[in-house]
Amino acid sequence: MSSGYLDKRFVIVAGKGGVGKSTMCAALGLAAARAGKRTIIAELNTREKAPHFFGKPDSGYDAQEIFENLYSINIQPEPALHEYGLMKLKFERVFKLVFENEAMQRLLRMVPGMNELILLGKAFNLERERTRRGDPVWDLIIVDAPATGHGVSLLRLPQVILEVSRSGPMAEEVRAMRDLLTDPARTMLNLVSLPEEMPVKETIMLADQVEQILRIPKGYLLINGVFPVLATAEERGWLSTLGEAAGGADPRLGRALTCIDAMVARRDLQEGYLAELRRRVPLPAIEVPFLFQREFGFDAIDVISRQLADVMV
């Protein structure tokens, strides 16, 4: 059984695009902030979502507080490379001489995975940032990983680099990234899915890759958008009888019964996918309910956050 994610420092949320990864990141971040953890949600060179859930504008590369004790950042390759270069070379003039000449620019463009390595490196550096007193700047970093295939490539990158380069300054940095990703005391990877055909297939595949290739400590399976169980078989029989008895006398009742039938059918369809996920993905599963709201903002994140806090914290 997974320990609570608040025991970790580096929490990764992964899954197919469109399953609600960013929603889960925001909900986990809110729960952590309320628990007293200084938390940052790291989105990786993408269209930002985290700050918008809290009614804030894009954060950009500079961390922005989006809720008390909760921050977000959108890590981008160019400013991340500039920050890393200055950290190592100390002076802006030296950085420009080394990194802004045409030969180096061509080299950076030619090296496969360089942008991804820079993104991962900045996320890694968030974990090791310290205040002047030596305390961690961030108690918890939540990484909103790219969609399945790209996410696997990104998280596997340190392993790939170490297979071809085992010594030197770059190898030392990459080895430290690899050590963080595989450290069960600091890191947890959570999977997000929907109870639908394609997300279930990709989640099962991703779970296998986490186990066999990435070897990142596993956390929870968050199954998003689960419809409620509205009626037992006996109650559905009563509803059917009621519909037949009412006939066309009251159109409103007919529409209400049609709506209930559709929701019951949707839940029936989801049951098979939920069972397959529980059977094929060896992680503690948490069902996150579908929220019937016209607008999806802070109120929705708050509901999901409180539910996750009850079972994951």
What pLDDT score was predicted for residue 97? 62
CB 231 within 8 A of CB 296: no
Q: What is the DSSP string of 106-147?
A: HHHHHSTTHHHHHHHHHHHHHHH-B-TTS-BS-SEEEEEEEE
Residue by residue, pLDDT tens for the chain (313 residues) are 346 899 999 999 999 999 999 999 999 999 999 999 999 999 999 999 999 999 999 999 999 999 999 999 999 988 887 777 767 666 577 666 656 666 556 655 555 567 888 899 999 999 999 999 999 999 999 999 999 788 899 999 899 888 877 777 778 888 999 999 999 999 999 999 999 999 999 999 999 999 999 999 999 999 999 999 876 666 666 666 666 666 556 667 667 777 777 888 899 999 999 999 999 999 999 999 999 888 889 999 999 999 999 888 6
- What confidence score (pLDDT) does residue 170 get? 76
In this predicted structure, what is the pLDDT of residue 106? Answer: 63
- Distance of alpha carbon 49 from alpha carbon 25, whole angstroms: 10
- Locate 14 and state its tokens: 């992964």
pTM for the predicted model, two decimal places: 0.88
Q: Where are the domains of the chain?
A: 5-228+283-312
When the candidates are 3.40.50.720, 3.30.70.100, 3.30.70.360, 3.40.50.300, the CATH number that belongs to 5-228+283-312 is 3.40.50.300
Q: For residues 16 and 14, what is the distance between their CA atoms, to the nearest angstrom?
A: 7
Residues in the chain, overall count: 313
Note the pLDDT of residue 1: 37
